[in-house]
Amino acid sequence: MARLILFGPPGAGKGTQAKYLVDLLDIPHISTGDIFRAAVRNQTPLGQQVQAYLDSGRLVPDELTINLIQERLHQGDVQKGWILDGFPRTLAQAESLEELLHQINQPYDRVLSLTVPEEVLTQRLVLRAEKESRKDDTPEVIQKRLGVYWKDTAPLLDFYRNQQRLATIDGNQPESDVTAQIKHIVDQLKGEKIV
């Protein structure tokens, strides 16, 4: 069983590494970004609320995001573990998540923080936007999203470092090397080799 929080700026490779972890650990990947984009695509009430935030690169308000995560963490498939991606993004969200996980007795094991230089992130996000036709990844929105990350989200590194549950991984290397570092951390958590 593993409960992991994937952390890092947009374009750091969280989604790519989450897919690997899902296969390795057979636990669900909970991505707030994916959930929000699906809600927008399906024009659900939540999707209509978050559309303006996504289009402008702003963070979706804490209350909406926390309610979404709380609902998701009560579903049956998360009882054996989960990978949380895209949440928390603010100190208020981190504190709310701590409280929620305590209430539902699902403490997280580790925060895996992917670090990548900003110029590399910008290149990756522009390429991804072109490849996937994501209208929420225009150059202007990319810069705004990165700015919001550095201002609001990066300070959470100290929050998790102080709890001694932060593992930092260089995300600016070949994908397989990033994966190998993550696998090593997961193996240490389990106290045994996974394969």
> Cα-atom radius of gyration of the chain, to the nearest Å?
16
Active site residues: 14, 89, 128, 134, 145
* Buried residues in 57-93 as b, exposed as e (16+ CB within 10 A): bebbebebbbebbeebbeeeebeebbbbbbbbbbeeb
Q: What are phi and psi of 88, to 5 degrees?
A: -80, 160
Count of residues for the chain?
Answer: 195
Helix, strand, coil percentages (3-state) for the chain, rounded to 5, are: 60, 15, 30
Rounded to an integer, what distance in angstroms lies between the CA atom of residue 146 and that of residue 187? Answer: 31
Q: How far apart are CA 52 and CA 42, in angstroms?
A: 15
Could you give the CA distance from residue 116 to residue 193 in angstroms, rounded to a whole number?
Answer: 28
Q: Identify the CA nearest to 16 among candidates 192, 8, 92.
A: 8
